[in-house]
Structure 1
Amino acid sequence: MNIHSLSDVKSTSIGKGTNIWQFVVVLKGAVIGENCNICANTLIENDVIIGNNVTVKSGVYIWDGVELEDNVFIGPCVTFTNDKIPRSKIYPDKFLKIKVKKGASIGANATILPGVTIGEMAMVGAGSVVTKDVPAYAVVVGNPAKVIRWMSQDE
């Protein structure tokens, strides 16, 4: 495990071979697997689970309730949300979950709304706004994101 000296990592649940780069904040309750790459300027809150071999590019904030399974790719500046009706100083009893299943990829600047599951090996195009579940092996793009094709299991 390699943690850059200019990061603030409170969690002790970080797997071997994981790299955490500069200006990353990881809160105490977060769980990060093995061989992950957490790039600069990233925030990971307490109720977050990140599997093995996950790449999180720069400028990503992973809020409470997000789970990234193994081999997931999160592009730069992807936005996760966890509150459907956000108000200043008014918090829900429980934040909605987001699950990104094994091998899925999310392109740069995509926005993922609360309560969504992105299926295994699915691909979310850059800049897309995901408002509902994405099926396994689907490629989705747009606002709102819609299926444009299906990938084979070999892709």
Structure 2
Amino acid sequence: MTKPPFVHESAYVDDGVEVGAGTKIWHFAHILPGSRIGANCSIGQNVMIGPDVPVGDNCKIQNNVALYKGVELEDGVFCGPSCVFTNVLNPRAEVERKDEFRPTRVRRGATIGANATIVCGNELGRYCLIAAGAVVTKPVPAFALMAGVPARRIGWVSRAGEILDETLICPRTGEKYRVVDGSTLVLVETDEHRN
């Protein structure tokens, strides 16, 4: 039996919004028209989503995050408290640029740390991990561990979020990885690890 979504009485969910089963929308959140939130998500206090923003299943969006038009979250994405997404590269208060929004796609299982900034127009790869306070200014490969200002890859992480050593074996799950072409990490597929 599926649980209906929960919306706190102080939150606003506008007409034309889809909210999946089991999702919880907490205090003072605002979901704008055309947005679609998947099942079993947690939408924290003071979160703003939309308009027209898709959020996959099983996402956790912590307090004080704004997902503007152009941002897309796939399943299982974690957005840490007060992380920031931009949508225009060169904003000016006196220049209208709504037709210049750049898309930002966050792939399945990615984690964005608290107070990190994601500059628009970049894709965050599957299961990457963006460190707290990092500033992402370019596309991020799958499984990359990114830190700094501007963010750079300082290592690799597993699907479980564990930092990988030179063996490229996840210490939590035993999953094995390999590097392809010197810059891409892939999971070594076995029958037990197929997703």
TM-score, scaled to structure 1: 0.96
Secondary structure (helix, strand or coil) at the match of 1:148 reads strand
Distance 1:51 1:153 in 2: 17
In structure 2, the partner of 1:117 is 123
Distance 1:153 1:40 in 2: 27
Superposition deviation, residue 88 in structure 1: 1.3
In structure 1, the partner of 2:48 is 43
Superposition deviation, residue 87 in structure 1: 1.1
Q: Which has the higher contact order (CA 8 A, sep 6+)?
A: 1
- How many residue pairs match? The answer is 155
More strand by share: 1
Correspondences of 1:3-152 after superposition (within 5 Å):
3-10=7-14, 11-89=16-94, 90-152=96-158
Q: Which protein shows a greater Rg?
A: 2
Gaps (5+ residues) in structure 1? none
Question: Which structure 1 residue ranges, 4+ long, deviate > 6 Å from structure 2?
Answer: none
In structure 1, the partner of 2:165 is none
Distance 1:123 1:64 in 2: 23
Gaps (5+ residues) in structure 2? 163-195
Structure 1 residues 84 and 72, CA gap change in structure 2 (3 angstroms): same
Secondary structure (helix, strand or coil) at the match of 1:93 reads helix
TM-score, scaled to structure 2: 0.77
Distance 2:86 2:6 in 1: 28
Aligned-residue identity in percent: 44
